[in-house]
């Protein structure tokens, strides 16, 4: 679907792939971002766009000489990882529940962390830079080590999926855990403090920013890249552990060779070239989708997910959606749906079916098929997946 240029009377235009009119609060949030003097060219809204903090989730913001910490968010480097295996559906028969139980035993979820630190974790080169991170996180190194290879909570998940050819895929969603949150919060507080000290009137306090060339900008950019590296490696550690479990059940423990591997962020910022200029691109709930990029767009825990390849659409800053996007808040979902609804909507999926995951019910999310239809000019679908096992954070 081609984008729509929204009529918001802003300094920078807002281009939307949402396919629907924004709500009042959503429109104001888009207006606030597009009004900032350092926003480059335009703001791009993905098909799964919805309310966030400071900036909309599902927005792509390119900036010159400035960066907005809260626009990236507190789960720095949150993203997806997946591998296509040589296994097929028949090999899974009768094994789904035990695979789920083994995943839950091997990979900590929620606030849990690993009791032991494995060698793979210690091999990450980022640990050498830990002492150069923001003052105040020194005492978090042990926690960061133990949380490497853990899922977290909220909408994070681990899934065994099947594609249209009945081939088995392993997929998961996670980010930079507590250390990423701690770093983000400290820098957000610093940015807000600077804005207050300067007497700057921002359209939203959460749009406080750092200016390139300042010590604060340099410190944030360093910690941002570190946390993004942590998140990427965190997914790699979990995927290796996940693969060992599936190999044990389907191949007697013999390691398989993945047919395709994808590991991509959807909450992050990078320095990129767009429209002939180098800019800082913040993707808050969006995946990079250059022509050479593979990406992952998950649905809900009862819906399809998609492995995609980018089309390099310049107007979206070579980006696409990061998922279906929430249709309602977590609190609203808990009151709008019952446990019976959850059981019905996750039929055929080996997963928890209790009140603790009711806020993640498929009905709380936008229809993923419509989201995909709205971004046919951003990505091509490589594989369509349906989960048979789902472990929630």
DSSP for 13-24, please give it: -EEE-SSSPPPH
Q: pLDDT tens digits for 54-99?
A: 999 999 999 999 999 999 999 999 999 999 999 999 999 999 999 9
Question: What integer is the mean pLDDT of 98-102?
Answer: 97
Is 40 annotated to bind a ligand? Reply is no
The percentage of residues in the chain with a pLDDT greater than 70, rounded to a whole number, is 100
Between CA 344 and CA 377 the distance in angstroms is: 34
Relative to beta strand 350-351, strand 379-392 is: parallel
Residue 132 dihedral angles phi and psi, to the nearest 5°: -95, 0
Is 300 annotated to bind a ligand? Reply is yes
At residue 372, the pLDDT reads: 97
Range(s) within the chain of domains with CATH label 3.90.1860.10:
4-327+365-392
How many whole angstroms from its chain centre is CA 286? 7
DSSP annotation of 256: P
The mean pLDDT of the chain is 96
Q: Is 322 a catalytic residue?
A: yes
Question: What integer is the mean pLDDT of 24-52?
Answer: 96
> In the chain, at which residue ranges do the beta strands (DSSP E only) sit?
4-5, 14-16, 39-50, 57-63, 66-67, 79-88, 157-162, 167-174, 210-211, 260-265, 267-274, 277-284, 286-288, 294-297, 304-310, 319-321, 350-351, 379-392
Find out whether 180 and 140 touch, Cβ atoms under 8 Å: no
To the question of domain 4-327+365-392 being in CATH 3.90.1860.10, the answer is: yes
- Both tokens of residue 347? 């039929």
> In 196-258, at which residue ranges do the beta strands (DSSP E only) sit?
210-211
Find out whether 5 and 13 touch, Cβ atoms under 8 Å: yes
Is 325 annotated to bind a ligand? Reply is yes
Is 75 annotated to bind a ligand? Reply is yes
| Confidence (pTM) | 0.96
Q: pLDDT tens digits for 235-278?
A: 999 999 999 999 999 999 999 999 999 999 999 999 999 999 99
- Both tokens of residue 285? 């709930």
At residue 250, the pLDDT reads: 97
Is 319 annotated to bind a ligand? Reply is no
Catalytic residue among 50, 187, 265, 322: 322
Is 32 annotated to bind a ligand? Reply is no
Is 298 annotated to bind a ligand? Reply is yes
Residue 188, classified by CB atoms within 10 Å of its CB into exposed (0-12), middle (13-18) or buried (19+), is: buried
Q: Which residues fall within 8 angstroms of residue 75, CB to CB, at 6 or more apart?
A: 152, 175, 176, 180, 181, 184, 267
Residue 1 has pLDDT above 80, yes or no: no
The percentage of residues in the chain with a pLDDT greater than 90, rounded to a whole number, is 93
Nearest to 261 by CA among 99, 125, 84: 84
pLDDT confidence band for 329 (50 / 70 / 90): confident
Nearest to 328 by CA among 367, 364, 371: 364
Is 348 annotated to bind a ligand? Reply is no
| CA angle at 182 for the pair 181 and 188, rounded to the nearest 5° | 85
Is 29 annotated to bind a ligand? Reply is no
Is 323 annotated to bind a ligand? Reply is yes
Is 65 annotated to bind a ligand? Reply is no
Residue 122 has pLDDT above 80, yes or no: yes
Is 24 annotated to bind a ligand? Reply is no
Is 136 annotated to bind a ligand? Reply is no
């Amino acid at each position: 679907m081609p984008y729509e240029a929204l009529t918001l009377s802003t300094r920078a235009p807002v281009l939307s792939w949402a396919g629907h009119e924004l709500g009042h609060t959503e429109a104001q949030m888009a207006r606030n971002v597009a009004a900032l003097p350092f926003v480059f060219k335009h703001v791009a809204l993905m098909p799964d766009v919805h309310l966030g903090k400071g900036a909309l989730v599902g927005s792509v913001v390119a900036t010159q000489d400035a960066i907005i910490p809260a626009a990236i968010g507190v789960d720095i480097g949150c993203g997806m990882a997946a591998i296509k295996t040589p296994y097929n559906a028949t090999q899974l028969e009768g094994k789904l529940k035990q695979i789920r139980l083994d995943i839950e035993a091997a990979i900590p979820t929620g606030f849990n962390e690993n009791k032991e630190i494995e060698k793979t974790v210690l091999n990450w080169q980022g640990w050498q830079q830990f002492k150069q991170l923001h003052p105040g996180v020194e005492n978090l190194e042990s926690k960061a080590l133990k949380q490497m290879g853990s899922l977290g909570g909220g909408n994070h998940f681990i899934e065994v999926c099947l594609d249209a050819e009945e081939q088995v895929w392993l997929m998961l969603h996670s980010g930079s855990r507590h250390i990423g949150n701690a770093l983000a919060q400290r820098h957000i507080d610093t940015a807000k403090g600077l804005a207050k000290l300067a007497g700057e009137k921002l359209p939203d306090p959460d749009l406080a920013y750092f200016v390139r060339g300042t010590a604060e900008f340099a410190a944030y950019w360093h910690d941002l890249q570190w946390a993004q590296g942590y998140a990427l490696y965190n997914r790699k550690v979990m995927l290796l552990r996940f693969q060992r479990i599936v190999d044990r059940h389907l191949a007697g423990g013999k390691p398989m060779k993945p047919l395709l591997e994808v590991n991509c962020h959807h909450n992050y910022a990078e320095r990129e070239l767009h429209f002939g200029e180098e800019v800082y691109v913040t993707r808050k709930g969006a995946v990079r989708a250059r022509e050479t990029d593979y990406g992952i767009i998950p649905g809900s825990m009862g819906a399809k997910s998609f492995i995609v390849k980018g089309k390099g659409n310049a107007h979206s800053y070579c980006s696409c959606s990061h998922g279906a996007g929430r249709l309602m808040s977590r609190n609203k979902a808990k009151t709008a749906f019952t446990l019976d609804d959850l059981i019905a909507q996750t039929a055929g999926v080996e997963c928890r079916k209790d009140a603790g995951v009711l806020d993640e019910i498929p009905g709380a999310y936008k229809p993923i098929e419509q989201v995909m239809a709205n971004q046919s000019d951003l990505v091509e679908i490589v594989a369509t997946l349906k989960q048979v096992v789902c472990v929630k954070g």
